[in-house]
């Protein structure tokens, strides 16, 4: 079984005497809200969690924000002691733009019903346009919205989440002409779902999104060949065949300076790749990869595929405690099939994870079947949403079902230890 909580979402245990006294904690909570991390890094980093909740990553994101995205940082104190921190993103959401040019089925294979469903989705999407406040990070998969000290009960954590949302929404009224219409809380693993009381009291709708594809790394694997040896023969043959297709492709790691020099082509390849996806809520800024590398150093890596000195693809990843977290990719779609670029990127990510001796590799959402074919398993992820308008909030689950990308896929079992191939 894959352990979903290898990266902590709570601060390490300390002697928080004020927090252990429930009455005192309830009566002495102070909330600090900031739009920038500059100047509050020490207070923010006093509570540790994943690297995605660290000031080094978040300041990098601030320096190259997605278009139209704003940030709010909330630190919760019991007296003078920080006991929680929460991260919010504010974005303008237009469903029609987020759906983009979703690829319809090939005309020869497309039924009238498929065309009709696509037309309905786009027509509905044109009328969904509002500001959204998100607790979490739209650019990442996983629990990256808050950190609490261990001593806080689930009930207290949920009260803090609700209070922080309310305070941020109230603060935004002073700077935003349009009131924030939608609140989104992302993402929780099954064992960390929020309580029924929290959902019912706050009128939150729980919904499941595409699963996160996680791969446990066998500690006996010392190199990529060990990984291949653990596979059924047909998957091993497939991997070797894919690698052979890279005969005239070189793979290089980019330095901070090289990422800056190649920012334009990296951005173009990224846009080309997300353009084939069915749904994109935000798009990265041009200098995102450079700013993240500048802030995070060796914790963030960008590797490129080159054909005759021309970059035709790239993949990126983070080293987060004992996990490797796959991040953004981009590639020339016209060359992907010939060189199996995307599949080879997955193999390279696995090779890097084995080399770094991580416990698991987080391959993220989308493309579930191909990720399962290299050894990843799906783990459900849950989000929570509500609309300020009662009627819209009531039909929110139906709209989510309509607009969510649908992908039929088959779970593959590539390893000899699996019962099914």
Report how far apart, in Å, the C-alpha atoms of 327 and of each of 109, 197, 221, 387 are. 33, 34, 23, 30
Percent of the chain with pLDDT over 90: 68
Mapped to the 3 state alphabet, what secondary structure does the chain carry?
A: CCCCCCCCCEECCCCCHHHHCHHHHHHCEEEEEECCCCCCHHHHHCCCCCHHHCHHHHHHHHHCCCCCCEEEEEEEEECCEEEEEEEEEEEEEEHHHHHCCCCCCCHHHCCHHHHHHHHHHHHHHCCCEEEEEEECCCCCCCCCCEEEECCCCHHHHHHHHHHHHHHHHHHHCCCCCCCCCEEEEEEECHHHCCCHHHHHHHCCEEEEEEEEEEEECCCCCCCHHHHHHCECHHHHHHHHHHHHCCCCEEEEECCHHHHHHCHHHHHHHHHHHHCCCCCCCCCCCCCHHHHHHHHHHHHEEEEEEEECCEEEEEEEEEEECCEEEEEEEEECHHHHHHHCHHHHHHHHHHHHHHHCCCCEEEEECCCHHHHHHCCCEEEEEEEEEEECCHHHHHHHHHHHHHHCCCCCCCCCCCECCCCCC
Most confident of 28-37, 105-114, 277-286, 384-393: 28-37
| Residues 327 and 182 grouped into a single domain | no
Q: Which of 11-15, 42-46, 297-301 has the lowest mean pLDDT?
A: 11-15
pLDDT band at 352 (very low <50, low <70, confident <90, very high): very high
What pLDDT does residue 106 have?
37
| Residues 168 and 314 grouped into a single domain | no
Mean pLDDT of the chain: 85
Res. 2: pLDDT tops 50: no
Q: Using CA atoms, how far apart are residues 147 and 85, in angstroms rounded to an integer?
A: 5
| Residues 176 and 311 grouped into a single domain | no
Q: Using CA atoms, how far apart are residues 363 and 213, in angstroms rounded to an integer?
A: 5
Rounded to an integer, the average pLDDT of 11-24 is 48
| Residues 354 and 240 grouped into a single domain | yes
What pLDDT does residue 13 have?
44
- The whole model's pTM is what? 0.86
What pLDDT does residue 113 have?
40
Res. 404: pLDDT tops 60: yes
| Residues 295 and 245 grouped into a single domain | yes
Q: Using CA atoms, how far apart are residues 317 and 299, in angstroms rounded to an integer?
A: 8
Better pLDDT: 142 or 279: 142
What pLDDT does residue 19 have?
46
| Residues 276 and 386 grouped into a single domain | no
200 found inside a domain: yes
Res. 261: pLDDT tops 60: yes
Res. 366: pLDDT tops 90: no
pLDDT digits (tens, 9 = 90+) for 46-98: 998 899 999 999 999 999 988 889 999 999 999 999 999 999 999 876 544 54
What pLDDT does residue 277 have?
54
What are the structure tokens assigned to 146, written together? 């808050």
| Residues 188 and 58 grouped into a single domain | yes
Res. 387: pLDDT tops 70: yes
| Residues 160 and 134 grouped into a single domain | yes
pLDDT band at 23 (very low <50, low <70, confident <90, very high): very low
What pLDDT does residue 231 have?
97
pLDDT digits (tens, 9 = 90+) for 190-234: 999 999 999 999 999 999 988 999 999 999 999 999 999 999 999
Rounded to an integer, the average pLDDT of 345-356 is 98
Better pLDDT: 302 or 28: 302
Rounded to an integer, the average pLDDT of 278-297 is 86
| Residues 307 and 334 grouped into a single domain | yes
Q: Domain of 14?
A: 10-210+381-403
What pLDDT does residue 109 have?
43
Paired with 381 in beta bridges are 209
171 found inside a domain: yes
Query: Can you give the CATH number for the domain in which 298 is found?
Result: 3.40.630.30
Rounded to an integer, the average pLDDT of 90-117 is 49
| Residues 204 and 124 grouped into a single domain | yes
Res. 3: pLDDT tops 80: no
Report how far apart, in Å, the C-alpha atoms of 44 and of each of 54, 177, 291 are. 8, 29, 20
| Residues 285 and 199 grouped into a single domain | no
Res. 313: pLDDT tops 50: yes
201 found inside a domain: yes
Best CA proximity match to 104, nearest among 87, 124, 84, 120: 120
Q: Which of 1-5, 160-164, 184-188, 252-256 has the lowest mean pLDDT?
A: 1-5
pLDDT digits (tens, 9 = 90+) for 133-180: 999 999 999 899 999 999 999 999 999 999 999 999 999 988 876 678
pLDDT band at 405 (very low <50, low <70, confident <90, very high): low
What pLDDT does residue 276 have?
61
What pLDDT does residue 232 have?
97
288 found inside a domain: yes
For the chain, the domain total comes to: 2
| Residues 168 and 31 grouped into a single domain | yes
415 found inside a domain: no
What pLDDT does residue 363 have?
97
């Amino acid at each position: 079984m894959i352990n979903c909580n290898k990266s902590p979402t709570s601060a390490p245990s300390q002697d928080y005497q004020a927090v252990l006294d429930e009455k005192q904690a309830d009566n002495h909570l102070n909330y600090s809200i900031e739009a920038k991390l500059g100047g509050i890094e020490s207070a923010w980093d006093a509570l540790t969690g994943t690297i995605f909740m660290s000031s080094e990553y978040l300041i990098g994101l601030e320096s190259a924000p997605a278009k139209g995205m704003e940030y709010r940082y909330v630190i919760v104190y019991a007296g003078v002691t920080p006991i929680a921190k929460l991260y919010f993103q504010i974005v303008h959401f237009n469903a029609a733009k987020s759906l983009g040019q979703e690829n319809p089925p090939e005309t020869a294979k497309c039924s009238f019903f498929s065309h009709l469903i696509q037309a309905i989705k786009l027509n509905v999407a044109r009328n969904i346009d509002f500001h959204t406040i998100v607790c979490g990070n739209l650019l990442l998969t996983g629990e990256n919205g808050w950190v609490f000290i261990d001593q806080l009960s689930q009930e207290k954590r949920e009260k803090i989440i609700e209070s922080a949302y309310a305070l941020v929404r109230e603060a935004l009224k002073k700077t935003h002409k349009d009131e924030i219409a939608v609140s989104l809380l992302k993402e929780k693993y099954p064992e960390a779902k929020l309580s029924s009381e929290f959902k019912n009291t706050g009128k939150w709708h729980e919904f499941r999104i595409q699963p996160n594809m996680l791969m446990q790394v066998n500690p006996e694997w010392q190199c990529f060949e060990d990984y291949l040896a653990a596979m059924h023969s047909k998957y091993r043959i497939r991997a070797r065949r894919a690698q052979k297709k890279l005969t005239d492709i070189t793979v290089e790691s980019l330095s901070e300076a090289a990422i800056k020099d190649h920012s334009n082509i990296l951005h173009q390849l990224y846009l080309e790749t997300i353009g084939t996806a069915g749904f994109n809520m935000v798009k990265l800024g041009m200098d995102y990869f450079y700013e993240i590398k500048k802030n995070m150093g060796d914790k963030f890596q960008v590797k490129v595929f080159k054909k005759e000195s021309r970059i035709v693809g790239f993949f990126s990843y983070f080293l987060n405690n004992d996990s490797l977290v796959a991040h953004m990719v981009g590639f020339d779609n016209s060359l992907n099939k010939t060189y199996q670029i995307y599949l080879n990127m997955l193999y390279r990510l696995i090779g890097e994870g084995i080399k770094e001796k991580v416990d698991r590799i987080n391959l993220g959402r989308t493309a579930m079947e191909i990720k399962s074919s290299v050894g990843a398993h799906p783990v459900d992820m849950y989000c929570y949403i509500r609309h300020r308008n009662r009627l819209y909030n009531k039909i929110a689950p139906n709209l989510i079902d309509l607009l969510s990308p649908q992908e039929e896929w088959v779970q593959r079992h590539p390893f000899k230890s699996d019962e099914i191939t």
